[in-house]
Structure 1
Amino acid sequence: MRLGGFPIFLIVIFGLGAAMFVPALEAALTRDWRASRLFIYAGLFVMLSGAALGMAARKGQIGVHARAELLTLLGVFAAAPAFAAAPIYLVVPEIGWFGAYFEAVSCMTTTGASVLISAEWTPPSLHLWRAMLGWFGGFATLVAAVAILAPRELLDLPGGATVGASGRILALGQGGRRTLRAARQLFPVYGGLTAAAAAALAAAGTPSFAALCHAMSLVSTSGISPLTGGLAGQGNRAAEAVAVVVLVLAASRLTYGRRGPSAGPEAARDWKGARHDPEIQLMAIAVGLSTLWLFLHGIWVEGGFGAATREPVFALRALWGGFVTSVGVLSTSGFLSSDWSAAASWTQVEAPAMMLMGLATLGGGVATTAGGVKLFRAYALYRHGIGELVRLPHPSRMDLARTQGGRLSRRAIVNAWVYVMLYMVALALALLALTLSGMTFDAAMAAAVASLSNTGPLFPLATGFTYAGASETARAIMIVAMVLGRIEVLAAVALCNPAYWRR
């Protein structure tokens, strides 16, 4: 896939090299001359490499095929991190090149899994670079959903809706032109939401540097943080409240709605009807059930509401911690609340791993930066199941399931079934491979779900282990799962099916 005759993949490489000068400037301002120098060296090398390869591969505009678009998407998330890993390896050589590549893939796929031992001993410039990679990966995910997956019928939206201003993105242009048009339409709302989140976090008392990194991580749902303990490291409930709002916006299709940010009042009308949106409804149900389960389980263990009466403040902390953490895991960012320890202590469950893995697998909305199966697919399967049950006593009944965007199409239901089946197969294969690499079953299950759903913090949360302690074989398997979860399983299957991209 090309833009102006240059392969988009090499344009991305050149852009990554140019972006390395931002953390270089940050390091210079904080007088970390070593990190600044290394980022400059890496940026120059990556830019020269991208420019040289781009000039060598430059051709005139040619026909665009599905294979070229899907290969470009795969290259952005699997090959581009090899270049993005250069400054990580130079600044922290002790993790090795493979560790740096793992870190870059994790960031660009918005997984947020890290092999860095301590955030305190990592230079701030490297934290900024990781957050920038996650932010770029989230934006690339949105653009790919609109310009590549949806036109190729690999992604279904509620009621056949489209993302982007007036829905023109899917109709006009091919290949690089369509990608550029999608980027232009989506960037204002993506960048605007990031700026608003940073300002809100700073106003809530978060230090400016952490506010910027957290804003990029929240909008991209990458879960990357410069603080030990992440968002919970602040102990700031006002910042957590801001994070919850931003995560809901980031995990909902309505934020990048079919009318786009330039539509103004029309986009606002989308959110006025949010209570009827199936993704918002399912998100609220999932978060509500998980929060109540955590809270009521503690009451049941205590044998009544006596504990809540004796310790009302602790009970409220447990309720808040369960709510914020549920939103964080469901959005696949993996951000925790500072009161999560209170929630776990209240529940008297060391780590409700199965519940957290279920939330991560459910994931956020379609055509968003969130990972997982996606809420709309779960809703489509639910409505299809209800329709089949109702049709048993009434065989001639027609199911008129509708969403905010219109009638739930049969194709959307079929695609949801196919995707969920492929997702479960991929999960089983990842689990088997991780088990064979030497992991215990519990750790392998958590690692497989965390990688495939792009919820990196889930693995240490559910098991107590770290990615640095995993073998290189296990981390290689996780890399494959992270990329597969980011580009969507259907796209990977289509890429391997010649009959699809020959059409």
Structure 2
Amino acid sequence: MRRILELPLIVILMGLCALMMYLPVFHAVTVRDWLSARSFFYAGTLFLTLVIFLGIATYHMKPRSLARSHLTALVAAYGLLPFMLAWPFYEAIQNTTYFNAWFEMVSSLTTTGASLFEPGRLPGSLHLWRAIVGWMGGLFIWVTAAAIMAPLNLGGFEVTSMARPGSGAKRDRVLDADAQTDPRERLLRLALQMGPVYVSLTGVLWIALVVAGEEPLIAICHAMSVLSTSGISPVEGLSQARSGLLGEAIILLFFIFAFSRKTFSPGYGMGAVRVSAVYKDIEARMAVYCIILVPSALFLRHWIGAFEVDDVADVGAALRALWGAAFTVASFLSTTGFTSAEWGGTETWSGLQTPGMVLMGLALVGGGVATTAGGVKLLRVYALYRHSHREIERLVHPNSVSGAGGSFGRHIRKQGAYIAWLFFMLYAISLAGVSAMLGATGLNFEQSMILSLSALSTAGQLAEVGGGAAIIYVQITDVAKSVLAGAMVLGRVEALALIALLNPEFWRA
């Protein structure tokens, strides 16, 4: 293991991807899908051989800065790995272009979940591969957020850090991100600590869904999609799942891992200590408030109108609509993108012409820092809220001095809110830029805005429910798909990380 860590990070990631290609082989052989089995076996063997040669050639490479090289590898992974991951997919499906296969893998690896293919068009082994790639992308984010982004004060950690984003590491009680620690050692330690947790949670959810009545293949794909927030499904979402409302209730419980890193980060222990940490976590509490308030608003809007027309008898329909709203709100807030089987009733119940706009706003907010969720992140929204609250107080009492929250509270209201506002502006500029480029390809304003937001927030399912009519990815041009692929990578890596990577001071360090 120590010798493997001497290799460049991108070579290690290529080796892991090559090994994962053998997993669909076992499923394909079981169901006698020989074409898929050969495609993945040959591709896995070819790329594994290539990785061995690359490992030999790059074994003695020693970059000037390991932290900088790892951040570069993080960006390069999303640019290079999809070309490798798309090859067996392209060979197995045979009736598509390599470009479409590449777009599918970019979408899966960034946990966006935007698909060009109807579920019935792909065999089960290819659905499993899409889910595996999304699942690997989620694990990659879990580990690199703690091992690479946190020491550089990026990925949301800059809101609570006293240091400048990208300028160096800070100590973190939870992540133990010490600037003096070898990045390779930190990467290995956190991978060994967080990897088994990620795998175990996926296994528990898989077994729970099978017990609820789901088919094993669909259950494992949904389990991997929930933990990675990719929303990839071998069927048309949860509306076609056999587990029903029980399966949705089980999945809802696992959304908590996309709202707070304190549910899985090393350093909090288990049992009552971890539960207490999650209960006190700002991001988890904000997520709970959103899950309570937004469905209540959708529900009460119809309920008040129903009293006016004396139509309040169907309590069962009301409860189903409330459940559909609560589950779907939690799903899009975590940027997973699963819609409840009762969401259609919720749309009718709310009386809104475009309830998908609510889901777009939730996906924009996103989940927690250092989780697999995309979006702006709840911690940044909280920093802006605290700053706004303080400014309103000063309008009433201009000479007041606030000490609420101690030094952490003062930092969040000032420096934290400042850097959160900068990120929000970068996000808005990125949204405007991607929308303009999509508009230049022939898409109208509504389609451009929905697709831009779905890519930047890594919630590809917004294309289906965000507007008045569903947007079909396969119907847009290849140029638009290329723009969306770039936006997916930008939304996953985040603009601040790219700016830090392009900063001359970062390279001179």
> TM-score, structure 1 length as denominator?
0.92
Instruction: Give 2:144's aligned residue.
Output: 144
- Contact 2:194/2:265, CA 8 A, preserved across alignment: no
User: Hey, what's the Cα distance between the residues in 2 that align with 1:52 and 1:473?
Assistant: 35
Query: Secondary structure in 1 aligned to 2:120?
Result: coil
Task: For residues 418-439 of structure 1, give each alpha carbon's deviation from its aligned partner in whole angstroms, at most 9, with x where no partner exists.
Answer: 1111111111111111111111
Q: CA 1:91/1:351 → structure 2, altered by over 3 Å: closer, same or farther? A: farther
> Per-residue deviation at 1:404?
13
Q: Which moved more, 1:244-253 or 1:426-435?
A: 244-253
* Greater shift in the superposed pair: 274-283 or 91-100: 274-283
Cross-structure match for 1:96: 97
Say if 2:103 is the partner of 1:105.
no
Alignment check: 8 A CA contact 2:146 2:175 kept: no
Inter-partner Cα distance in structure 2 for 1:212 and 1:408? 43
- Displacement of 1:468: 0.9
**Which runs of 5 or more residues in structure 1 are unaligned?**
none
| Consecutive unaligned residues in structure 2, runs of 5 or more | 163-169
Q: Which digits, 9 at most, give the CA deviation of each residue in 1:133-174, with x for residues without a partner?
A: 111101111112111111111144486699998533445632
- Residue 178 of structure 1: how far off its partner (Å): 2.1
Is the alpha carbon distance of 1:164 and 1:223 closer, same or farther for their aligned partners in structure 2, counting shifts above 3 Å? Answer: farther
Structure-to-structure mapping, 1:482-493, within 5 angstroms: 482-493=488-499
| Pairs aligned (count) | 495
- Alignment match, 1:383: 386
Q: Which residue of 2 aligns with 1:365?
A: 368
User: Does the CA-based 8 Å contact 1:107-1:134 persist in structure 2?
Assistant: yes
Structure 1 pair 206/54, CA: closer, same or farther in 2 (3 Å)? same
The answer on 1:478 being equivalent to 2:452 is: no
Q: Give how far 1:22 is off.
A: 0.6
From the superposition, tell whether residues 163 and 90 of structure 1 become closer, same or farther in structure 2 (CA, over 3 Å): farther
Partner SS, residue 338 of structure 2: coil
**Residue of structure 2 in register with 1:127 after alignment:** 127
In structure 2, C-alpha distance between the alignment counterparts of 1:405 and 1:399, rounded to whole Å: 12
Cα deviation per residue 1:69-96 (whole Å; 9 max; x = unaligned)?
Answer: 2210011122111101111111123231
Partner residue, 1:442: 446
Corresponding residue of 1:218? 226
Distance between the aligned counterparts of 1:148 and 1:438, measured in 2?
A: 39
Q: Distance in 1 between matches of 2:365 and 2:498?
A: 20
1:236-271 alpha-carbon deviations (Å, 9 max, x no partner): 0000001111112233222123515xx234xx3232
Deviations 1:406-464 (A, max 9, x none): 76544432221111111111111111111111111111111000000000111122241
Q: Are 2:230 and 1:207 aligned?
A: no
TM-aligned CA deviation for residue 387 of structure 1: 1.1
CA distance in 2, matches of 1:465, 1:403: 48
Specify the SS of the correspondent of 1:372.
Answer: coil
Q: Does 1:181 align with 2:184?
A: no
- d(CA) in 2 for partners of 1:401 and 1:110? 38
Work out whether 1:495 is the aligned partner of 2:481. no
Stretch deviating more after TM superposition (248-257 or 312-321): 248-257
In structure 2, the residue matched to 1:271 is 275
Q: CA deviation at 1:15?
A: 1.3
Q: Residues 70-469 of structure 1: matches in 2 within 5 Å?
A: 70-116=71-117, 118-157=118-157, 167-171=175-179, 173-227=181-235, 229-234=236-241, 236-257=244-265, 259-260=267-268, 263-265=269-271, 268-302=272-306, 304=308, 306-307=310-311, 309-402=312-405, 408-409=411-412, 410-463=414-467, 464-469=470-475
SS of aligned partner of 2:116:
coil
Counterpart Cα distance in 1 of 2:428 and 2:141: 22
Residue in structure 2 matched with residue 26 of structure 1 by the alignment: 27
Q: Residues 12, 273 of structure 1: CA spacing in aligned structure 2 closer, same or farther, 3 A cutoff?
A: closer
Change in 2 beyond 3 A, CA 1:254/1:416? same
Cα drift, residue 32 of structure 1: 0.8
Equivalents in 1 of 2:32, 2:411: separation in Å? 57
Is the contact made by 1:3 and 1:176 (CA closer than 8 Å) also made in structure 2?
Answer: no
Aligned partner of residue 95 in structure 2, secondary structure: helix
Work out the percentage of aligned pairs sharing the same amino acid: 37
Closer, same or farther: CA 475–186 of 1 in aligned 2, 3 Å: same
Give the Cα–Cα distance (whole angstroms) in 2 for the partners of residues 335 and 404 of structure 1. Answer: 39
Q: For 1:204-227, what per-residue CA distance to the aligned partner results, in whole angstroms no more than 9, with x for missing partners?
A: 221122111111110111101111
Cα deviation 1:27-54 (Å, max 9, x = unaligned): 0011111111111111112212222223
Structure 1 contact 230–335 (Cα < 8 Å) conserved? yes
Question: SS state of the match for residue 173, structure 1?
Answer: coil
* CA deviation after TM superposition for structure 1 residue 397, in Å: 3.6
Secondary structure of 2:97's partner? helix
Cα distance per residue 1:338-395 (max 9 Å; x no partner): 1111111222335413211100000000010000000010001100111122123444
Alpha-carbon contact 2:364-2:376 (below 8 Å) kept:
yes
Distance 1:125 1:164 in 2: 41
* CA distance, structure 2, for counterparts of residue 468 and residue 138 of structure 1: 25
Shift of the 195–469 alpha-carbon distance from structure 1 to 2, 3 Å rule, reads: same
Greater mean alpha carbon deviation, residues 89-98 or residues 377-386: 89-98
